[in-house]
Amino acid sequence: MDESGGEGFDAFFRASQRRLLAQAFLLTADSAKAQDLTQEAFERAWSRWRTVSALEDPEGWTRKVLHNLCISDWRRTTRHRRTRLDRQPDCFPAPSDDHLMLLSALRSLSADQARAIVLHDGLGYTVPEIAADMSKPEGTVKAWISRGHSRAAQLLSSTQTGEIEGANDGR
C-alpha cells in the first residue's frame, strides 16, 4: 500500500501518537479526556488522510486540530462550570497540586501564549519549529513564550500567597 493508504497512516500514528497525547494531557490535566481528544484528532486526520498525508507536516496539522479540540473542550467545560478532575478513572492518578496550579496559570494566558509554552516547554519544540507550526514569525513566538512565562510566574507566585482568585480575568 502506498503512503496515502492505511500503512502510511499507521506509521504516522505510531510516530506521533505519544507526542500528541502528551500535548492533550498538558492542556486538559485529564488522562481520559486527553485520550479521547487525541483519538478524535487522529480520526479527523484519517478521514482526510489523502490530503493530510500530502502536507509538508501532517503531524503539525493534527497537532493544530488537537489543540483546537482541547480549547473547545475547555470552553465547553468552563461554560458549564463542571470540573473534570472529580471524574478521574481509578487507573490514572489524580493530577498533583503543582500540575493543577500550572494548568490554571496556562488557562489564564491567551490561547497562542499557552500553545507556544506547551509546545516549547512541554514538548521540547524549538522556537523555529513553533513558528512554522503556528505560521507566525519567530519574534512573535519568542514574545509569547517570554510574556507567557512572566504571566504564569506571576500567577504561580500569587497562588502561593492565596491571591489567585480572579487572576483569570487579567489576560
Q: What is the pLDDT of residues 66-113, one digit of tens each?
A: 999 988 888 777 665 544 445 555 555 667 777 777 778 888 888 888
Check pLDDT > 80 for residue 163.
no
Listing DSSP states for the chain in one string gives --TTSHHHHHHHHHHHHHHHHHHHHHHHS-HHHHHHHHHHHHHHHHHTHHHHTTSS-HHHHHHHHHHHHHHHHHHHHHHHT--SGGG--TTSPPPPHHHHHHHHHHHTS-HHHHHHHIIIIIT---HHHHHHHHT--HHHHHHHHHHHHHHHHHHHHHHHTT--TTGGG--
CATH 1.10.10.10 fits 96-171, yes or no: yes
Q: What is the pLDDT of residues 8-21, one digit of tens each?
A: 999 999 999 999 99
Give the pLDDT score at 164: 45
Give me the mean pLDDT over the 103-124 stretch.
86
Q: Are 84 and 77 in contact (CB under 8 A)?
A: yes
The residue that leads in pLDDT, 56 or 108, is 56
The share of the chain scoring above pLDDT 70, in percent, equals 79
Please list, in sequence order, all residues whose beta carbon lies within 8 angstroms of the beta carbon of residue 94, skipping any fewer than 6 positions away.
Answer: 85, 88
CATH 2.40.50 fits 1-93, yes or no: no
Q: Are 138 and 127 in contact (CB under 8 A)?
A: yes
- Domain boundary assignment for the chain: 1-93, 96-171
Give me the mean pLDDT over the 30-48 stretch.
95
Mean residue pLDDT across the chain: 82
Q: How many CA atoms lie within 13 A of 56 on its CB side?
A: 4
